[in-house]
Chains A and B, each alone.
Chain A
Amino acid sequence: MVSEPFGYILKPFEERELATTIEMALYKHQSDRQLREAHDELEQRVRERTQELNELNETLEGRIVERTAELNSANEMLRVSRRAALNVAEDALAVRELAEETNIELRREIAERKRAEEEILQHVEALERFNKAAVDRELRMVELKKEVNELLAQTGEPSRYPLDLDEEAPFPPGSEESQRQQPKMQQPPHLQAGGLPPVLRCGAAAGALLAAHKRAAETGERGEKGNLRLLLIEDSEDDALLTIEELRRGGYDPHVTRVDTPAALQAALDQEGWDAVIADYNMPSFTGIDALRIVQAKGMDVPLILVSGAINVEQAVEVMRIGFHDFIIKDHLSRLTQVLERELREAGVRRELEVAVKELSQMHAELEQRVIERTAEVQAASVKLRASHAATLNLMEDAVIARKEADEISDRLRLEILERKIIEEALRRSEEQLQAMNEGLEREVEQRTRELRENQLQLLHAEKLSTIGKLSASIAHEFNNPLMSIMTILKGLKMRAILEEEDRQFLDVAITESARMRDLLRNLQGFNRQSSARKEPIDMQKAIDSVLLLQKSDLKTRRISVVLNYAEHLPQVIAIPDQIKQVFLNLLTNAADACHQDGGEITISTWQQDQRVAVAIKDTGTGIEPEKMDQLFQPFFTTKPGVKGTGLGLSVSDGIIKNHKGEIRVESRPGEGSTFTVLLPVNAT
């Protein structure tokens, strides 16, 4: 692709052509550059705006996405906290229910315990009463016997009642029958079936414990009357054997340990598990009373029976008072089994009671403990309840805060959207402005292009004219020399030759015609000579004449007459002569072309109008239709048929006259002809 050049200059070079072409090229180059720059700038601005818009959009979209995510997370938080609050409330409810259940249970247990305690106390009281009654009875009996003995002593009778409290035994001692049956008959009522009824009615635990003890008592103490671990405090081996024998006879299988010193007694007592202790009253190392003290010091609750050879009533009362459960005279050793039986029974009852009381107190302690524990549990539960209540409140507060935040966020979002809309509106407006600017620029470009094209065409036409001028100038020059020769010869011939009058007249005509030809050639040369773009004062009428001279023969051929209506004193006008001549040439050609049928008339008038010179060229041609008047001065607009017209004449003429600060006016009536009036300022510089 070869680019368009900025112009052509034809050889040989001519100054004006050179200058014009170079200036045109420079102008064209500059305007090209300006156009390109304007275009580039426009594109750059459009690009910038588009980018701004895109960035803005991206930012806005990013922010919307962000806000939406925030909103979602806030909503999620709200949902979670609501769910948590519900869970906590449920927990609190469950804890409260549990606490109520525990309370009810505790109350029930406390009530049960109170009832059991009451029953036990009643039973203990009853037993105490029973014991006291028994002791009272025994004491009373001893007193009675003592009184009887005193009464007998007073009467001098021997003592009827030795201090043996067992004289009323139903069977004589040593009787087989008594040895077998007595213990059975002496079985305590409470050890038989259905014994200890009040105690059994107490709390289930106590009842079970008591039942276990009952069984233990039956097997350990009474069952087969078997094993009996007996601590015998006795100095006499024989007495000990007697005692053992007596017990064997009573149905026991005694395992006896005999001691006769306090130290041995202490040692024996350290081994636990004794069922009974039988002590002699008089021993060489210590007495039965001493032994009792030692046993009591150990805190052992076992039947303690004193065996004595002889004892008076005071002594008997004394030993009962200090703690022996019973005493037996050695002579009445057969009573031993019966006494031992009873004491074992009572000791069993005492142990059972003790155990029961211990169990009860333990149970009481356990219950206390459980009450304390339950109370603690209830307190803990209520603390937890309070905590969960507080937590629920906190969560609700959080939820309220979260909702508030969500509201704020949505407010902000609404604001953002509003902002975005405003920005979009502004952007749209600026885009519109840009669009308008773009359109304006495009219009301007179009305008410039058109102007440029016009100028170029004017220039072309001027060049054409210039070429014609040059051609005619050279023709004129070439013709001038021969013509001068012809004229010189003719003039010489006229002076020298003797001629007929008729011939002389012919010669004069030839000389006149030659002079006319010389003027014509001179005019032609002049037309071409003033080709510099320099303005100078010119006489308009002379300019018109020189143009008419060139056209005279053409007009004559077409039978068009020319009427000159010149003003007498017309001021000169400062102008470029050949351009002005070109305008008149164009206007005359147009006028002649308008008269295309049977000749016509062209009237050329000149006058002064204010500070302007006016030249009117009026024809009797076809005229111009009103709708074409507007296009008259546009380049390439022609009404001439075929290739006759270029459509440039009036356009170029108008340009020239405008350059001279003048104007061309047109009046026309279709069918009657047109008048073109050229107005040029007198003092145009």
Chain B
Amino acid sequence: MSKTTILIVEDEAIVAADLAGKLGQLGYEVAGTSAAGEEAVELACRLLPRVVLMDIRLKGSMDGIEAAEAIRRRVNVPVIYLTAPFRFRHPEPGHGQRAVRLYPETL
């Protein structure tokens, strides 16, 4: 079976490169990298990766949650959010609920 392909959506180039390196070591194949939500949606539709890793804060007009929603409406690809821990300590309205549900005991 071929390698699991992954699309990385991350606005910080260094973080994205680090992530790509780690994924490569773990045996995954990075299908593409994008820093903006619109481009990410386009890439997801075109490359059809098995998984999308999505940063919540992005360049461009879309944030990660909007981009994930747009992808979900177009193609059936699971989306995993990338986020810094502190975001959950000060959850923004609309995001916090899911965070609390996934992390019942915050750090």
Per-position binary interface string of chain B over residues 29-56, scored 1 when its CB falls under 8 Å from any chain A CB and 0 otherwise: 0000000000000000000001101100
**Is B61 in contact with chain A by the CB < 8 A criterion?**
no
Among the 9-residue stretches A8-16, A112-120, A237-245, A617-625, the one with 4 or more Cβ atoms under 8 Å from chain B is: A8-16
Chain A residues closer than 8 Å to B79, beta-carbon distance: 5-6
How many residues belonging to A are interface residues under a CB distance threshold of 8 Å?
Answer: 25
Residue in B closest to A28 when the chains form the complex, CB atoms: B78
Complex Cα distance A7/B82, Å?
A: 9
Chain A, residues 190-229, CB within 8 Å of chain B (1/0): the string is 0000000000000000000000000000000000000000
Q: List the A side residues contacting B4 at CB < 8 Å.
A: 22, 26
Question: Known: A7-B81, A8-B81. Contact between A18 and B51, CB under 8 A?
Answer: no
**Contact flags (1/0) for A1-34 with B, using CB distance below 8 Å?**
0111111111101010011011001101100010
Per the bound structure, the CA–CA distance linking A15 and B19 in Å amounts to: 9
Please, which residues of chain B bring their CB within 8 A of the CB of A7?
A: 78, 80-81, 102
Cβ contact within 8 Å between A464 and B105: yes
Q: Which residue of B lies closest to A6 (CB)?
A: B78
Whether, in the assembled complex, A467 has its beta carbon less than 8 Å from a beta carbon of chain B, the answer is yes
Using known A-B contacts A4-B98, A5-B68, determine if residue A11 contacts B82 with beta carbons closer than 8 Å.
Answer: yes
A26 cross-chain contacts in B, Cβ below 8 A = 4, 50-51, 78
Query: By the criterion CB–CB under 8 Å, are A15 and B22 in contact?
Result: yes
- Contact A9/B50 with A18-B22, A28-B78 known, Cβ cut-off 8 Å: no
A126 to B107, CA, bound (A): 166
A22-B98 CB under 8 A given contacts A3-B69, A5-B81, A9-B82 = no
Q: Contacts of A10 on B, CB cut-off 8 Å?
A: 83-85
Also in contact, A13 and B18, with CB within 8 A (given A7-B81, A22-B6): yes
B23 an interface residue at 8 Å Cβ cutoff?
yes
B40 CB to nearest A CB, Å: 14
With A and B bound together, what is the CA distance between A460 and B101 in angstroms? 12
B80 contacts A8, C-beta separation under 8 Å: yes
Tell yes or no: B72 within 8 A of A by CB. Answer: yes
Q: Smallest CB–CB gap between B64 and chain A, Å?
A: 9
Which residues of B lie under 8 Å from residue A13 when comparing CB positions?
18-19, 22, 82
Chain A positions 459-497 with a Cβ under 8 Å from a chain B Cβ: 460, 464, 467
Whether a CB of chain A sits under 8 angstroms from the CB of B99 is yes
A21 partner residues in chain B, CB cutoff 8 A: 80
Indicate if B25 sits at the interface (CB-CB under 8 A). yes
> Does the CB pair B83–A25 fall under 8 Å?
no
Residues 63 to 107 of chain B near chain A (Cβ within 8 Å): 65, 68-69, 72, 76-85, 94, 98-99, 102-105, 107
What residues of A have a CB within 8 angstroms of the CB of B83 in the complex? 8-11
Chain B at the A interface: SS class: mixed
Least Cβ–Cβ distance between B1 and chain A, in angstroms: 12
Cβ of B23 and Cβ of A18 under 8 Å apart?
A: yes
Q: Given known contacts A2-B69, A460-B103, is B80 in contact with A19 (CB within 8 Å)?
A: no
Q: How far is the CA of A247 from the CA of B69 in the complex (A)?
A: 157
Residue on B nearest A17 in the bound complex, by CB = B22
What is the bound-complex CA distance between A3 and B69, given in angstroms? 7
The answer to whether A25 touches B98 (Cβ under 8 A) is no
**Residues of the A chain whose Cβ atoms lie less than 8 Å from the Cβ of B80:** 5-9, 21-22, 25
- Point out the residues of chain B lying under 8 angstroms from A460, CB to CB: 102-104
Chain A proximity of B3: nearest CB distance (Å): 12
The smallest C-beta distance from A5 to any residue of chain B, in angstroms, reads 5
Q: Which residues of B contact A28 (CB under 8 A)?
A: 78
B residues in contact with A8, CB < 8 Å: 80-83, 99, 102-103
**Shortest Cβ distance from B95 into chain A, in angstroms?**
9
Decide yes or no: A18 and B26 within 8 Å by CB, A3-B72, A10-B84, A26-B50 being known contacts.
yes
A33 near B76 (CB under 8 angstroms)?
yes
Q: In residues 1-22 of chain B, which contact A (Cβ within 8 Å)?
A: 4, 6, 15, 18-19, 22
- Identify which of B69, B78, B81 contacts A9 (C-beta below 8 A): B81
Alpha-carbon distance between A19 and B82 when the two chains are bound, in angstroms: 13
Across the interface, name the chain B residue whose C-beta is closest to A3: B72
Minimal beta-carbon separation of B81 from chain A (angstroms): 5
A3 to B76, CA, bound (A): 12
Q: How far is the CA of A7 from the CA of B80 in the complex (A)?
A: 5
Q: In chain B, what residue has the closest Cβ to A464?
A: B105
Please name all residues of chain A whose beta carbon is closer than 8 Å to the beta carbon of B85 when the two chains form the complex: 10-11
Chain A 21-50 interface mask (CB, 8 Å, partner B; 1/0): 110011011000100000000000000000
Q: Tell me the bound Cα distance from A19 to B3 in angstroms.
A: 13
Is there an interface contact between A11 and B28, defined as CB atoms closer than 8 Å?
A: no
The answer for the CA separation of A19 and B23 in the assembled complex, in Å, is: 8
Residue in A2, A9, A19, A464 whose CB lies within 8 Å of B65? A2
A11 touches B98 (CB 8 A): no
Residue on B nearest A457 in the bound complex, by CB: B104
**Residues on A with beta carbons closer than 8 Å to the beta carbon of B28:** 22
With the chains together, A646 CA to B103 CA distance in Å?
13
Which B residue sits closest to A19, measured CB to CB? B26
Of B4, B78, B99, B105, most A-chain CB atoms within 10 Å:
B78
Are A15 and B26 interface neighbours, CB within 8 A? Answer: yes
Residue of A nearest to B66 (CB): A2
Which residues of chain B are within 8 angstroms of A5 by Cβ–Cβ distance?
A: 54, 68, 79-81, 98
Given the contacts A5-B98, A8-B83, A22-B4, A29 and B18 also touching, CB distance less than 8 Å: no
Neighbouring A residues of B53 by C-beta, 8 Å: 9, 22
Complex formed: what's the CA distance from A204 to B61 in Å? 136
Q: Separation in Å of the B80 CB from the closest CB of chain A? A: 4
Residue of B nearest to A471 (CB): B107
Which chain B positions have C-beta within 8 A of A18? Answer: 19, 22-23, 26
Q: Select from chain B the residue with minimum beta-carbon distance to A1.
A: B69
- B50's nearest neighbour on chain A, judged by CB, is A26
Closest-CB distance, B4 to chain A (whole angstroms): 7
The docked-state distance in angstroms from the alpha carbon of A420 to that of B107 is 68
Q: Is the Cβ of B105 less than 8 Å from the Cβ of A25?
A: no
Please list the residues of chain A having a beta carbon within 8 angstroms of any beta carbon in chain B.
Answer: 2-11, 13, 15, 18-19, 21-22, 25-26, 28-29, 33, 460, 464, 467, 646
* Interface pairs (29), CB distance under 8 Å: A3-B68, A3-B72, A5-B79, A5-B80, A6-B51, A6-B78, A6-B79, A6-B80, A7-B78, A7-B80, A7-B81, A7-B102, A8-B80, A8-B83, A8-B102, A10-B84, A11-B15, A15-B26, A18-B23, A19-B26, A21-B80, A22-B6, A22-B28, A22-B80, A25-B51, A25-B78, A28-B78, A460-B102, A460-B103
- Besides A25-B78, A26-B50, A26-B78, 20 other CB < 8 A contacts? A2-B94, A3-B68, A3-B72, A5-B80, A6-B78, A7-B102, A8-B80, A8-B83, A8-B99, A10-B83, A11-B83, A11-B84, A13-B82, A18-B19, A18-B23, A18-B26, A22-B80, A25-B51, A460-B102, A464-B105
Which 6 A-B residue pairs are closest in the complex by CB-CB distance?
A: A6-B78, A29-B78, A7-B80, A25-B78, A11-B84, A19-B26
